[in-house]
């Protein structure tokens, strides 16, 4: 069970008491990410996240910030996604007030020192290079380009070398003032805590934070036709591939049905893809599938690494498994998928960091927090007929996209493979 308070400035606080733990996790969830950026701003959300760790008026250096938490055995980190940015800290219970003070200081008092900006700009460019040099990560970026062409959802969250190189301090501060506002932010706390105590502390730390301007929105996405396949030739040992299909938005009533289909298809070593492509055919060491849900879009993506000569046979074998989802799924297999989904959810909820993320992510994106029991009830109620119906609706050959990185000729037509 969680409790929620909205402060006078619009900041939302959600808490969950976990009296059996000795830790407390604090997360600050900002309702803005890379899809809120214009083309000129590409990568600015990620850039700001990095700079918030570089120094504040109270703790002028990155080392002082990290030492304040690591010095008491805690963990401090952050992350930028397409629709949210998160700063989080996990500490032993006695150090909760220090954790909140550090996070609040980073949020409100980061210096954005010009020298730090230039150093971190180069760090981020090296991060972009590292991802581009990693074929399994590069192919993930290419499938996003195919799924969401000419849209911020299809861009690298970190931006490009060119866009990051052109971001100025004034641009950073302007974006910060627009997007980092209390009404679009959630503080999520889980651990051996009491709601009233946390509310008092948050009011003291962040109660004076004010919104100064209207908060801009983001570019809506509408599905449209575009390129269906993309090859990036690399002189490497494997071909890394991603097959993608448009999926369902975050609030779609069949969202959990698609999640369950994905578990059956490609999550875990007992999934259909792992059993057939790896165990039976021996075509790949690693193969899996995953889903993404955004405000107005979503996707189902399958990723694998195979020998170049086996690319076409592997894609055909993968799509054969996808097409099998059009059939009624045996109740025994469905029961296993249900238990896998529920079991992993329950295991996550033993950790205060996961509970904080569960609450904060839902609240900032949807304004509503589903309980674990509510989600498990939804999963238990999904029928084989509902799974089949959704598979027939979504898993359509004309919507397939294929991205490939590896020793494959760029003019080698893969169009013939994109049929179900």
CB neighbour list of residue 42: distance below 8 Å, 6 or more residues apart = 34, 152, 155, 156, 159, 160, 163, 164
Q: Angle between the 114-132 and 135-147 helix axes, to the nearest 10 degrees?
A: 90
Residue 49 falls in the annotated catalytic set: yes
In whole angstroms, give the CA distance from residue 40 to residue 178: 16
Hey, is 32 helix, strand or coil?
coil
Q: Cβ distance 348 to 354 under 8 Å?
A: yes
Hey, is 249 helix, strand or coil?
coil
Query: How many residues would you count in the chain?
Result: 420
In whole angstroms, give the CA distance from residue 135 to residue 242: 11
In whole angstroms, give the CA distance from residue 132 to residue 145: 14
**What 3 state SS string does 165-192 have?**
HHCCHHHHHHHHHHHCCHHHEEEEEEEC
The neighbour count for residue 208, using CB atoms within 10 Å, is 10
Q: Which residue among the candidates 37, 49, 120, 199 is catalytic per the annotation?
A: 49
- Closest C-alpha among 49, 51, 52, 53 to residue 37: 49
Scan for tokens 């498990």, then name that residue. 376
- For CA atoms 90, 94, 97, 98, the dihedral sign is negative
CA 258 from centre of chain: 17
Residue 115 per-residue DSSP state:
H
- Closest C-alpha among 164, 157, 161, 136 to residue 294: 157
- Closest C-alpha among 139, 150, 413 to residue 301: 139
CA 86 from centre of chain: 10
In whole angstroms, give the CA distance from residue 287 to residue 292: 17
Please give the structure tokens belonging to residue 39.
């083309």
Residues designated as active site? 49
């Amino acid at each position: 069970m969680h409790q929620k308070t909205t402060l006078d400035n619009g900041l939302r606080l959600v808490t969950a008491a976990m009296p059996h733990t000795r830790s407390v996790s604090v997360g600050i969830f900002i309702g803005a990410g890379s899809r809120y950026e214009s083309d000129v701003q590409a990568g600015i959300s990620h850039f700001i996240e990095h700079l918030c760790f570089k120094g504040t008026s109270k703790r002028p250096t990155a080392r002082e910030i990290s030492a304040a938490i690591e010095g008491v055995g805690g963990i401090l980190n952050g992350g930028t996604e397409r629709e949210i940015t998160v700063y989080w800290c996990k500490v032993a219970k006695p150090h909760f007030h220090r954790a909140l003070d550090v996070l609040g200081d980073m949020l409100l008092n980061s210096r954005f020192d010009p020298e730090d900006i230039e150093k971190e700009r180069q760090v981020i460019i090296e991060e972009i290079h590292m991802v581009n040099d990693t074929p399994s990560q590069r192919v993930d970026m290419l499938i996003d380009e195919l799924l969401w062409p000419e849209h911020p959802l299809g861009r690298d969250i970190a931006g490009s070398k060119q866009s990051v190189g052109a971001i100025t301090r004034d641009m950073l501060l302007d974006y910060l003032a627009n997007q980092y506002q209390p009404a679009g932010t959630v503080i999520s706390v889980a651990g051996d805590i009491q709601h009233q105590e946390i509310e008092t502390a948050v009011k003291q730390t962040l109660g004076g934070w004010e919104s100064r301007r209207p908060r801009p929105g983001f570019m809506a996405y509408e599905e449209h036709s575009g390129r269906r396949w993309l090859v990036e030739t690399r002189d490497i040992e494997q071909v890394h591939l991603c097959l993608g299909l448009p999926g369902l938005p975050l609030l779609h009533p069949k969202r959990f049905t698609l999640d369950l289909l994905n578990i059956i298809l490609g999550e875990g070593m007992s999934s259909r893809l792992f059993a057939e492509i790896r165990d039976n055919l021996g075509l790949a060491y690693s193969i899996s599938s995953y889903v993404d849900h955004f405000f107005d879009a979503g996707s189902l993506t399958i990723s694998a690494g195979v020998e170049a000569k086996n690319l076409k046979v592997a894609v055909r074998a993968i799509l054969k498994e996808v097409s099998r989802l059009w059939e009624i799924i045996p109740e025994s297999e469905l029961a296993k998928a249900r238990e896998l989904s529920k079991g992993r959810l329950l295991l996550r909820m033993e950790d205060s960091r996961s509970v904080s993320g569960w609450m904060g992510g839902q609240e900032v994106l949807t304004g509503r927090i589903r309980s674990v029991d509510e989600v498990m009830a939804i999963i238990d109620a999904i029928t084989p007929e509902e799974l089949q119906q959704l598979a027939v609706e979504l898993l359509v050959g004309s919507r397939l996209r294929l991205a490939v990185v590896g020793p494959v000729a760029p003019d080698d037509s893969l169009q013939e493979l994109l049929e179900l």
